[in-house]
Structure 1
Amino acid sequence: MIKVFIIDDNPLEHIIVDKMLVKYTYPLETVHSIDGRLAIKLLQENKENALALPDLILLDLNMPKFSGWDFLESFSTLEHSLIKHVDVFILTSSLNKHDINRSTKYPCVKSYFVKPITQKIIQDIFSNQVT
């Protein structure tokens, strides 16, 4: 079973993503956070527990206080201490080319997608995941 961590400050986005994932993927488990700082804390607390860590993260960039960029900076220093590899997929409303280019500077970021989530995006994300 694939474990997906959804990090987005908008609770409605969590509902939408959950419904789309259930509709178009294999069995999976979702974990949610509306605060990137709390997400980092959860990852740190479970860095040696592979079952508690997600297989992938869906990350919004535009969040107040602790943005997706802040998350990526923190995750970049944390990811090497995690007991398993975790891929990050950006799922954001930003069409800004600067944001798209900036995201490529983070090796953990596998792809950049613009909301709303679609069946095609889900297929792209999960095409490289092992169940």
Structure 2
Amino acid sequence: MNNLKKTCIVDDDAIAVFGLKRAMQALEFSSELLVYENGLDAIESFQEMIDEDTTLPSLILIDINMPVMGGWDFISEMREIWPKDKEEPTVYMMTSSLSPMDIETAKTFKLENNYLIKPIYAEALQAILV
């Protein structure tokens, strides 16, 4: 199985994060796992990583709806600060709803194929690694 070097979860739902972490540990999904409660915390941390020239995540799983900064605003900010000489991470949007508006927004960000419905099980994570 392909093990990722650094993965990031951005979600304010502690139960969802707990479930994701357990599934990832069982799959030996990633060498390092970063967890943030909102998009702004993640952006600030990524900016520090960029400033210190440390390894950035190659995969980000982010909830669409969160306080402070949600998933869509996060994507816009991340694309602004991400170093041009570094490959952008793969981003999967997570949600507990099937809102047609969210699906349309995913298309505008070119993420319509990277859309996960909660709860997220090990099978969905395995598909990401393939």
* TM-score, normalized by the shorter chain, greater than 0.5: yes
Matched, 1:30 2:33: yes
Distance between the aligned counterparts of 1:81 and 1:97, measured in 2?
32
Segments of 5+ residues of structure 1 without an aligned counterpart are: none
Which residue identity does 1:39 align to in structure 2? A
For the structure 1 residues 79 and 102, does the alpha-carbon distance in structure 2 shift closer, same or farther, using more than 3 Å as the test? same
CA RMSD of aligned residues (A): 2.1
Compute the displacement of 1:13 (Å): 1.7
Compute the displacement of 1:22 (Å): 1.3
Counterpart position of 1:87: 90
For the structure 1 residues 68 and 26, does the alpha-carbon distance in structure 2 shift closer, same or farther, using more than 3 Å as the test? closer
Aligned length: 126
Distance between the aligned counterparts of 1:110 and 1:40, measured in 2?
23
Segments of 5+ residues of structure 2 without an aligned counterpart are: none
1:55 to 55, 58, 61: 58
Deviations 1:43-101 (Å, cap 9, x if unpaired)? Answer: 112126352x1110000011012111111121122234463431111122121122012
Bigger mean CA offset, 82-91 vs 4-13:
82-91
Bigger mean CA offset, 80-89 vs 66-75:
80-89
- 8 Å Cα contact 2:50-2:83 kept in structure 1: no
- 8 Å Cα contact 2:103-2:112 kept in structure 1: no
Distance between the aligned counterparts of 1:102 and 1:50, measured in 2?
31
Counterpart position of 1:104: 107
SS of corresponding position for 1:46: helix
Counterpart position of 2:23: 20
TM-score (norm 1): 0.83
Which residue identity does 2:127 align to in structure 1? D
Distance between the aligned counterparts of 2:19 and 2:122, measured in 1?
12
Counterpart position of 2:75: 72
Give % identity.
29
1:6 to 5, 9, 23: 9
Distance between the aligned counterparts of 1:8 and 1:77, measured in 2?
21
